[in-house]
Structure 1
Amino acid sequence: MLTMGTAQAQGKISGVVQDSATHEPLAFASVFLANTTLGVTTTEQGRFEFAKVPAGTYDVVGSYVGYSLSKKSVTMTAAPQQVTLELASTGNQLGEVVVKPEPNKPDELRQFTTLFLGGTSFSEQCYISNPDQVRIFLDEETGELTARAKEFLQIDNEALGYRLKYYGLEFGYDKADGTMSYYGEPVFEEMTPRDERQQQQWAANRATAYRGSFMHFLRSVYNDRLEAEGFLAQQIRMAPNPHFRRIENKRRALQRRPAGNLTRAEKDSLARWQSVTPTLATLYPAPRPIDSLRRVSLNGEHTFLRFTGELQVAYFGEAPDARYTRRMLPLGATRKPYPAKRQVSRLRLEDGEAEIQANGSLMNPLEVVNGEYWGFERIGEFLPVDYVLPAASAKP
């Protein structure tokens, strides 16, 4: 069983939130540790404190109405950490004309909501409660969709029992290659259950969201427990497709002809050639040893995800969501006999390695690109980094 480790060292973060120009304290400002459930409100003197923060590096974020966000990165040590957050006022100057943005087009808002929340069973139980806070922009020529939140976007996840406030949201979707990215400073709030039954359902759903997740995988790599936790990582070799150029030339030649002049066989060929790619992927069946996936610094204080090329990562502890319609296991069998329950994902590093924290987060999330099943899971399965899998929910 893998949990985050409740025995981790804990430290204290305290500080003050103040106006960046006057240095006056800001009373009742919101302060939170991004991607966690840890949030507080400042006192009348603008002071705040987090008494027990698990080991790791966190963005301490300050928010106040009429001010820009302020954040500082803090790495927990045995010594208490002191933080001063200076927020800049965004108030209108005298005589300034305020231009209200046009409301979002309904179709664009629906597209953004579908992409951002995802299409899983849990995503269907999420809704954005303040859609007027997001500004959506669609490039008609490229099909690129971008979105930003004025202050924060609030998502109520009725499946997991979290209210997510996503501060500083930056969202982008490129229709041409199907890539999507989003980042910001989210904070989780526990929702109040109607009764004990709903509380138990939320706990069960959170465990389901965690098992097989990218967070679960990173914690398993960090603790050298991949196989024990039900993961199998295999190397994918990418090589040029020797037939791509010839087929691409034929495809373009047929596309230049009027559709009404194509024979049935030619139309069938066009349909098949759509799936031909410039590169071919080959799966090496042997599991990757931990030393080919992970590097630990000489002093033991830093752990890095490190590998070459791409990985296929299979998780055998849970079946995929029923709404995931893509063929699982695109590169062939990985175990004999092959388990019926499986989730298969792809993973690529942008720059050779990425530092992992014990809580299953990355120091820089932009250093990793994941796809297949992990790309399918989005806000509906989004958990805070301080989530700990209950012992009763762990799979053998």
Structure 2
Amino acid sequence: MYKRLLVALLFFILGANALAQNTFSISGIVRDKKDGLPGASIYLSGYKVATVADNNGRFKLTNLKPGSYDLLVQIVGYLPYSKSVIISDKSVEVDLVLKENVAQLDEVTVRADPNRQKYINQFKEFFIGKTPNATQCRILNPQVLNVDFDITKSTLTVSTTEFLVVENKALGYRLKYMLDHFEYNSRTHIIYYSGHPFFEELKASAAKKKKYIAAREVAYYGSSQHFFRSLYAGKSQEEGFIINKMVKIPNPNRYPEYLINGNLEKIKAVAEKTGIRQNKGKIDTALLAFWTKQKEMPRTIDKFSRADVLTDTLVHYFNQNLRYLNYTDGLLIQYTKEKESLAYSKTGFWIFRPLDVPENEISVANLTEGPVRFYENGGIYDSRSLLYEGYWAYEKIADMVPMDYIPLPKK
């Protein structure tokens, strides 16, 4: 009996040591130019992991797996701070030097902008989203948003020198979001934003928590985070994803570029020769309108390719913590375990599908600058390398769950 107890104790100690060897810590000091900053809040971007600096400004985050992390720091009177940290095979120590937030310390006079509320409403739509969950989200401090619209570029940009606080009563989170960049181009309809979210649990009753858990399951399954996790694990098909390609082909309704330009040049030459104001009758306005419309038509159209994309040829090993994708055309990803919602079908994000393709959730991931690297938890290392269309473009901050989110086991 004594020997068996000793052996069991030995296995327990060895197991604990093995677990400890596979996890690491990030520690260090938060300070300004001179002293440590006690009480500074330190967050891990994308997670629910946080701590507070001690009286000397020192902190420590433990039980971290190898990977890339973004540290976020918040304290009154200083600008929000972020630092990328990579853990490979040992713990990391960092020195975080903050700058004073002059906008907070000094009294600032803000010029009234009659269009400010319109721009903020656009920002909410393109940043938080238009899903059913988005209707239960609220920005608690919109006054920190700096909005600007460049009429020459048709571009709305939004920035802030403080953490943006978003309360999500659909999923039960309060997000502190460090917004790095946001822009929306009303000509191209391309939305781009990047930043660092930190998740806090909202206080709730047992019944409310149960609703949150169910809503988080729906938000997670079929998301890009779910897809990249399953892709890393080699289980994308098992998890319900089908991967095809969205191939761009020449637009059959558009004349060749040389022909369009040639006809427009001829019309322009006639106008210059005769004087368009004095001899309007000599310009065929219908012909001008036709070739102008041809010029505005897209050169290519999307074609749904039926050929399956095999994950063993798509996913490549980068290092022990990262995998990568590098491909041409767009990845067309179907999630077969959920159908497109009625709310989604009424938006402008809908992706063309052949009539015989089921109404599964469909997203297209376009590679803007490859390759794109991703982690085991579904996080993207090169966030600006991907441009989403379809369902993943429709779902935004309102449908986001933390990177350390673990769904309930399927029954």
Normalised by the shorter chain, which TM-score bucket? 0.7 to 0.9
Aligned 1:265-276 pairs, distance under 5 A = none
Residue 391 (str. 1) matches residue 401 (str. 2): no
Partner of 2:55: 44
- Choose from 183, 196, 214 the match for 2:224: 214
CA drift of 1:144 comes to 1.3
**In structure 1, how many angstroms separate the alpha carbons of the residues matched to 2:103 and 2:230?**
50
Report if aligned partners of 1:348, 1:370 keep a CA contact under 8 Å in 2.
Answer: yes
CA drift of 1:112 comes to 1.7
**Aligned with 1:209: secondary structure?**
helix
Residue 226 (str. 1) matches residue 236 (str. 2): yes
CA drift of 1:181 comes to 0.9
Residue 323 (str. 1) matches residue 343 (str. 2): yes
- Structure showing greater radius of gyration is 2
Residues 52 and 274 (structure 1 numbering): CA distance in 2 closer, same or farther, change over 3 Å? farther
CA drift of 1:357 comes to 0.5
- Choose from 380, 385, 408 the match for 1:367: 385
- Choose from 168, 173, 186 the match for 1:157: 168
**In structure 2, how many angstroms separate the alpha carbons of the residues matched to 1:278 and 1:160?**
42
Residues 92 and 112 (structure 1 numbering): CA distance in 2 closer, same or farther, change over 3 Å? closer
Partner of 1:15: 28
Q: Which has the higher contact order (CA 8 A, sep 6+)?
A: 1
Residues 277 and 38 (structure 1 numbering): CA distance in 2 closer, same or farther, change over 3 Å? same
**In structure 2, how many angstroms separate the alpha carbons of the residues matched to 1:287 and 1:181?**
29
Residues 7 and 80 (structure 1 numbering): CA distance in 2 closer, same or farther, change over 3 Å? closer
Residue 102 (str. 1) matches residue 124 (str. 2): no
Residue 29 (str. 1) matches residue 47 (str. 2): no
Q: Which amino acid aligns with 2:137?
A: C
**In structure 1, how many angstroms separate the alpha carbons of the residues matched to 2:149 and 2:103?**
28
CA drift of 1:107 comes to 1.8
Residues 191 and 346 (structure 1 numbering): CA distance in 2 closer, same or farther, change over 3 Å? same
CA drift of 1:239 comes to 2.2
CA drift of 1:150 comes to 2.5
Partner of 2:307: 286
**In structure 1, how many angstroms separate the alpha carbons of the residues matched to 2:405 and 2:223?**
12
Residues 103 and 388 (structure 1 numbering): CA distance in 2 closer, same or farther, change over 3 Å? farther
Aligned 1:344-355 pairs, distance under 5 A = 344-355=362-373
- Choose from 195, 215, 226 the match for 1:205: 215
Residues 196 and 352 (structure 1 numbering): CA distance in 2 closer, same or farther, change over 3 Å? same
Partner of 2:182: 171
**In structure 2, how many angstroms separate the alpha carbons of the residues matched to 1:375 and 1:97?**
39
Report if aligned partners of 1:8, 1:55 keep a CA contact under 8 Å in 2.
Answer: no
**In structure 2, how many angstroms separate the alpha carbons of the residues matched to 1:172 and 1:8?**
43
**Aligned with 1:323: secondary structure?**
helix
CA drift of 1:291 comes to 2.6
- Choose from 243, 246, 253 the match for 2:253: 243
Percent identity of the aligned residues?
Answer: 28
Name structure 2 gaps, 5 residues minimum.
1-18, 268-279
Report if aligned partners of 2:326, 2:371 keep a CA contact under 8 Å in 1.
Answer: yes
Partner of 1:378: 396
Count of residues in Structure 1 that have an aligned counterpart in Structure 2: 368
**In structure 2, how many angstroms separate the alpha carbons of the residues matched to 1:165 and 1:327?**
27
State TM-score, norm by structure 1.
0.83
Residues 346 and 11 (structure 1 numbering): CA distance in 2 closer, same or farther, change over 3 Å? same
Q: Which amino acid aligns with 2:240?
A: G
Q: Which amino acid aligns with 2:307?
A: A
**Aligned with 2:219: secondary structure?**
helix
- Choose from 111, 114, 132 the match for 1:121: 132
- Choose from 55, 59, 70 the match for 2:81: 70
Q: Which moved more, 1:140-149 or 1:41-50?
A: 140-149
Q: Which moved more, 1:67-76 or 1:112-121?
A: 67-76
Report if aligned partners of 1:12, 1:52 keep a CA contact under 8 Å in 2.
Answer: yes
Deviations 1:77-127 (A, max 9, x none): 44222122111223489xx98542235522222222222211100011101
State TM-score, norm by structure 2.
0.80
**Aligned with 1:112: secondary structure?**
helix
Report if aligned partners of 1:171, 1:182 keep a CA contact under 8 Å in 2.
Answer: yes
**Aligned with 1:316: secondary structure?**
strand
> Structure 1 or 2: larger helix share?
2
Q: Which amino acid aligns with 1:175?
A: S
**Aligned with 1:183: secondary structure?**
strand
Q: Which amino acid aligns with 1:202?
A: Y
CA drift of 1:277 comes to 2.5
Report if aligned partners of 1:153, 1:169 keep a CA contact under 8 Å in 2.
Answer: no
CA drift of 1:237 comes to 2.0
**In structure 2, how many angstroms separate the alpha carbons of the residues matched to 1:44 and 1:122?**
40
Partner of 2:330: 310
**Aligned with 1:111: secondary structure?**
helix
**Aligned with 1:227: secondary structure?**
coil
Partner of 1:87: 98
Partner of 1:3: none
Deviations 1:280-303 (A, max 9, x none): 222221210113321114x65431
**Aligned with 2:407: secondary structure?**
coil
Report if aligned partners of 1:11, 1:77 keep a CA contact under 8 Å in 2.
Answer: no
Name structure 1 gaps, 5 residues minimum.
1-5
